[in-house]
Amino acid sequence: MKGRRMALFALVTVFLLALLLIRGIQFPPDIPFDLDHRRGQIPGDCLSCHGPDERFPRGKNHPLVDECFQCHSWPAAGGR
Ligand code: HEC
Ligand code: HEC
């Protein structure tokens, strides 16, 4: 009986940890398909709008990395 309870406890713990992990992972959205976003832009261009003091700053939980294309991709179809 005791072994079973331990096993159950371990199972629940692993499940909850997995849930936390999944919720903590945020996937970077694709770069929008619109006139503000054009292929050929470099991170410096992106920051002219998404820099901290510009018109469309990234959220405060955004990763502190400015190599945009490490995480954000252009939409698979279309794009400019
Ligand atoms: C001319 C200003 C401008 C430039 C330059 C620009 N953006 Fe944006 N970006 C916006 C605006 C406005 C939005 C929000 C509205 C929208 O979705 O188009 C946005 C939204 C985004 C989003 C969020 C999309 C979503 O689904 O939430 C990402 C990611 C993004 N931009 C990445 C980039 C990257 C990477 C670059 C450089 C290649 C870049 N942007 C250059 C204005 C700009
Ligand atoms: C280390 C990975 C990573 C890099 C590098 C990165 N991003 Fe993001 N970005 C994310 C993730 C994850 C999200 C979604 C979570 C969030 O909203 O904070 C996101 C969300 C965004 C959004 C929409 C939500 C918001 O916070 O405004 C914009 C706009 C954006 N990124 C722009 C950029 C630009 C521009 C660069 C380069 C200067 C860049 N990102 C570099 C991972 C990254």
Distance 23 CA to ligand 2 centre (A): 17
Mean pLDDT over 66-76 rounds to 91
User: Which segments of the chain are extended strands (E)?
Assistant: none
- 15 CA to centre of ligand 2 in angstroms: 28
Averaged pLDDT, 24-35: 88
CA 29 – CA 54 distance, rounded (Å): 20
Q: pTM of the full predicted structure?
A: 0.83
Q: Which tokens sit at 64?
A: 């502190």
Identify the pLDDT of residue 1: 62
The answer to whether the CB of 57 is under 6 A from ligand 1 is no
Residues in contact with 49: Cβ distance below 8 Å, sequence separation at least 6, in sequence order: 36, 55, 56
